[in-house]
Amino acid sequence: MSTPARTRSIEDSLPRDRNELSVGENLDFQRRWWRFEHVVWVVYTLIVALDIAGVFGRGPVAKVHKSTPDGAMNLTYERFQRFQTPSIISIHFGPNAVRDGKLQLWVSQSLITKAGNQRIIPQPASSELKDQALLYTWAAGQNPDSADFAVEPSSPGVYRFSFRLPALADEFTETVIVWP
Amino acid sequence: MYTVIHAIAGYFLLLLTVRVLVRRPGAQLTPFEFVIIFLIGGVIILATVGNDHSETNCTCAIITIGLTHRLVSIVRSRLPRLAAWIDGIPLVVLREGQWQLEQMEGLRVDREDVIAAAREKGLKSVRDVEYAVVERNGSISIIPR
């Protein structure tokens, strides 16, 4: 024997318009919704303005240029980056950065683990892991006037990275926000 | 994991944007509104699957969106107030010979939309309309005199 279908008597639960039309209009609710809609548009406009400014990366506010007092290192990077989106951290070296015919750069390991460093241009001749950091060496004749670190953050959040010239004790420690 | 999070975020962002953007997502979708919805949909897809175009990733994204939609449908059917926020409510735009200007301006519905709906109903003039109601799906219901 089959189970009987479930039923319920009809009821006119919607408020009637002028005691005639069963429509359920609620103008108070609708006015609240329009106010909310207005807020949403303001927020959307703000987001676009912030994006144009570069707060979400790829804009004037995101770009950072820094130099050490002796001019041995000039750093350019984006303080706002995006998850799994390539970005370049660039260092220009002054002539005084080279010691004993070679250029050495100490890089915090967070540049690999957090920033997702993919490659270094030009490729250093050697690298060694030392005290939670990497020491890159460009050999004589290879001394570059700049090094580009192609990064691609593997997770959203905030990370810090450091660059140091061991020969001069010049250092940059920077903070980057990675948007999802 | 990121695909699931992106898919859920994308679903709600799209829901909110379409809700505030257009009142006519259904029967009266114009080419102008088609452009917006397809463009937004395309951009959301890019953010959802990211660089991973694998079958696994796309399947996970589709299933996540399906489950989210199902969950929202269940919650919506049990909470009429939430349904009003998600779907909107019917609004009377013409009542006994009077255009309801606040509702029309708020919904961005113009007189031509109502007159077109009256014609579809077989009415010769808008004067033959007693009530015109913009429904939750955006269609205009005409109640003749």
Q: Pick from A25, A40, A180: which is nearest to B91 by CB?
A: A25
State the pTM of this model.
0.75
Chain B residue with minimum CA distance to A155: B2
Residue A17 — very low, low, confident or very high, per pLDDT cuts 50/70/90? Answer: low
Is there a contact between A23 and B92 if contact means CB atoms under 8 Å apart?
yes
- What integer pLDDT is reported at residue A44 of this predicted model? 93
* Residue A79 contacts residue A70 (beta carbons within 8 Å): no
Q: Pick from A24, A37, A83: which is nearest to B90 by CB?
A: A24
- Please report residues of A whose CB lies closer than 8 A to that of B2: 83
* Residue A125 contacts residue A141 (beta carbons within 8 Å): no
How many residues belong to chain A?
180
Percent of chain A with pLDDT over 70: 94
- What integer pLDDT is reported at residue B22 of this predicted model? 64
What's the one-letter identity of residue A44? Y
Interface predicted TM-score (ipTM) of this complex, two decimals: 0.77
- State the nearest Cα–Cα gap between B70 and chain A, in angstroms: 22
DSSP H helices, chain A, are 27-53, 110-113
Is there a contact between B92 and A21 if contact means CB atoms under 8 Å apart?
yes
* Residue B144 contacts residue B133 (beta carbons within 8 Å): no
Rounded mean pLDDT of A158-162? 92
- What integer pLDDT is reported at residue B34 of this predicted model? 73
Summarised one tens digit per residue, pLDDT across range A48-69 is 999 999 999 888 999 999 999 8
Residue B30 — very low, low, confident or very high, per pLDDT cuts 50/70/90? Answer: low
Is there a contact between A26 and B95 if contact means CB atoms under 8 Å apart?
no
Going by their DSSP bridges, the two strands B98-99 and A73-78 should be labelled as unpaired
The Cα–Cα gap between B118 and B127 comes to: 10
* A43 has pLDDT over 80: yes
Is there a contact between A26 and B89 if contact means CB atoms under 8 Å apart?
yes
Of A44, A45, A85, the C-alpha closest to A62 is A85
